[in-house]
Structure 1
């Protein structure tokens, strides 16, 4: 992870820099998750990387290490209702603000994966495209957000087994779309997303 030059340019101690990332912007169902992590420079965690590049087993292992060795971490979410009311981008930004605000150690700087910054953070922030692969703190956040969302999908599957949330994680796979057409949306589906909205429009028309 090439981060020494970045830390120096920020003039902020590494133990007061929070990495923030999200998981679940694209799926048709479930909350969107975000995590914030401040790593301990004295207890580095080996193998941190973009969560999408890691196996599920390795993500689970690393999530335990992050929770044990990080100086501070927080996982937050924005609900399906908030996604439909605010739109997915603003709901993602809300989840990021909640994760940053929930840290037990107040950060002096936040590093955000991507090219957009959430408004209203308690500290200055910098957006880094590909940050989940280049900055250890963002990698750690991506792992916590991803593992938390995957665990939530298992709970959604228990509540609504017809849609295969344990396998598709809410994404619009062919099987998920087939089940969606067969059973209609469940409470976990995001009504503002086009594939779900299209199924609801005939029902709305019939009810008029």
Structure 2
């Protein structure tokens, strides 16, 4: 099925209405995985014509996605990645962990963006960032699409390296499933229990009686906000 190529329309709008000179596209990967970090990429592209075939990473074959990511990393003006670990996800909840990863990515850019295009309908960044949320921004906005592809390829590679380099993770299929609940992953989890790279505050452990005792209870949003000086006031 053909898709409309992404454009700079939102970026041009932000430049015109806010005076932003540097606009970053932001997208995440790994939100629904049971293992591994959640990864956020921030990409600045300017207003140049993108490489052919750029769109949401989920709509591109793995081979082409890897090839395109290599091209994009040299094509973008700048990009950076931020990660939140499974431990941080368990401690903070996904919304706050996403914000943490996104801030890490944005602050790693060589120039602080004047505005951010965030994929989706929920602004998990908040002040002081000037955010424009765009539903399906990874299909419609060039900078967000670039961030989507880079984030997906880089996180997939991290998960493959995790499986290859750790006896603990061998057999969980991370090279193929990237920590998402594939049949191979679920079977290994039922047999061997969660590794140090699993999110152990998640509900999947409720269905595994022999490992249920390992489940951690996540603190409330109010407790997290209090411990962090009120900086993480998000709904979990």
Q: Work out whether the TM-score is over 0.5.
A: yes
CA–CA distance in 2 between the matches of 1:52 and 1:96? 20
- Counterpart of 1:176 in structure 2 is 185
Instruction: Tell me which of 151, 164, 175 is aligned to 1:166.
Output: 175
Between 115-124 and 16-25, the greater mean CA deviation after superposition: 115-124
Contact in 2 for aligned 1:28/1:196 (Cα 8 Å): no
Deviations 1:33-65 (A, max 9, x none): 000000032463222100000011111112112
CA RMSD in angstroms, aligned pairs only:
2.1
Q: CA deviation at 1:197?
A: 5.2
SS in 1 for 2:116: strand
Q: CA deviation at 1:78?
A: 0.4
Q: CA deviation at 1:79?
A: 0.6
- Counterpart of 1:140 in structure 2 is 146
Structure 2, unaligned runs of 5 or more: 216-236
Deviations 1:66-111 (A, max 9, x none): 2112111001110111010011222112111111111112211100
Deviations 1:89-146 (A, max 9, x none): 2211211111111111221110000111233565411110100000010000001110
Between 60-69 and 129-138, the greater mean CA deviation after superposition: 60-69
| Pairing 1:9–2:13 present | yes
CA–CA distance in 1 between the matches of 2:129 and 2:37? 25
Contact in 2 for aligned 1:27/1:169 (Cα 8 Å): yes
CA–CA distance in 2 between the matches of 1:39 and 1:173? 34
Matches within 5 A, 1:1-208: 1=5, 3-10=7-14, 11=16, 16-42=22-48, 44-119=50-125, 123-158=129-164, 159=166, 160-196=169-205, 198-199=207-208, 200-202=211-213
CA–CA distance in 2 between the matches of 1:19 and 1:202? 40
Aligned residues: 204
Contact in 1 for aligned 2:6/2:55 (Cα 8 Å): no
Distance 1:26 1:130, change over 3 A: same
Structure showing the higher helix proportion among its residues = 1
Q: CA deviation at 1:182?
A: 0.6
SS in 1 for 2:152: helix
Which 4+ runs in 1 deviate beyond 6 A?
none
